[in-house]
Amino acid sequence: MSEEAELREHICMMAKSLYDRGLTAGSSGNISARLGDGRLLVTPTGSSFGRLDPARLSLFDSEGRLIGGDKPTKEMPLHAAFYETRPKKTGAVVHLHSSHSVAFSILPGVDADNMLPPLTAYSIMKLGKVKLLPYFMPGDPAMGDAIRGLAGKRSAVMLAAHGPVVSAKDLEAAVYAIEELEETAKLAMLTRGANPSLLTDAQIADLVRTYDVEWD
């Protein structure tokens, strides 16, 4: 199986796993992943993660031109911004409309610079700091501009009242990271107002140093 055929199958398999576990619903969410030659495979607009066809994924050349497949997601600006600002660290981007992270994003008192409280080591290890961005209308190119404004310093952002977007070195890493984001948001919702014991600054610093976490 060629690299392209394998990646097409992998995107559809990972997307169905996310869909089957209720991490995105209907036709929401989108995934992109880069091939070794710089081409990009992207989930089409209006498609369900539960029923993707590998042959119909949108295909872009290394210059960002659509060269095959169905019409791509309207949220390409999100994906393009990560590939542009983090070119050596981004091999895939995943965007979901997962319930707990969306709910947490619209609560008062959330730290916009570091949305997730340090409840576990794993969110820090896999995500670093998650930037909470303001609401944008779906498909608005300004979403990409907001990510570019971070100058490549964040691998994950949360679009208020919309959903998380995570970039990583490959598709599997991006999926695992966005799952961790949703789980941490769920924990934050469950423990909100209960005065949970958070990781200390020293514990966070140890994780950042040991696992080479981006933490500005």
Q: Is residue 59 assigned to a domain?
A: yes
Q: Is residue 112 assigned to a domain?
A: yes
Instruction: Given the residues 75, 180, 182, 183, select the one marked as catalytic.
Output: 75
Domain count, the chain: 1
Give pLDDT, residue 57. 98
**pLDDT tens digits along 141-150:** 999 999 999 9
Q: Is residue 216 assigned to a domain?
A: no
Q: Is residue 66 assigned to a domain?
A: yes
Q: Is residue 27 assigned to a domain?
A: yes
Give pLDDT, residue 134. 96
Q: Is residue 139 assigned to a domain?
A: yes
Helices 3-20 & 171-191, crossing angle to 10 degrees?
20
**pLDDT tens digits along 26-82:** 999 999 999 999 999 999 999 999 999 999 999 999 999 999 999 999 999 999 999
The verdict on whether 122 is a catalytic residue reads yes
CATH number at residue 86: 3.40.225.10
Q: Is residue 76 assigned to a domain?
A: yes
Q: Is residue 78 assigned to a domain?
A: yes
Give the range of the structural domain holding residue 151, as residue numbers without chain letter: 3-211
The verdict on whether 211 is a catalytic residue reads no
Instruction: Given the residues 4, 63, 84, 122, select the one marked as catalytic.
Output: 122
Residues listed for the chain: 216
- In terms of C-beta distances under 8 Å and separation of at least 24 residues, what long-range contacts does 70-76 make, across chains too? 70/44, 70/45, 71/44, 71/45, 72/42, 72/43, 72/44, 72/45, 73/30, 73/42, 73/43, 73/44, 73/45, 74/45, 74/138, 74/139, 75/30, 75/138, 75/139, 75/143, 76/32, 76/42
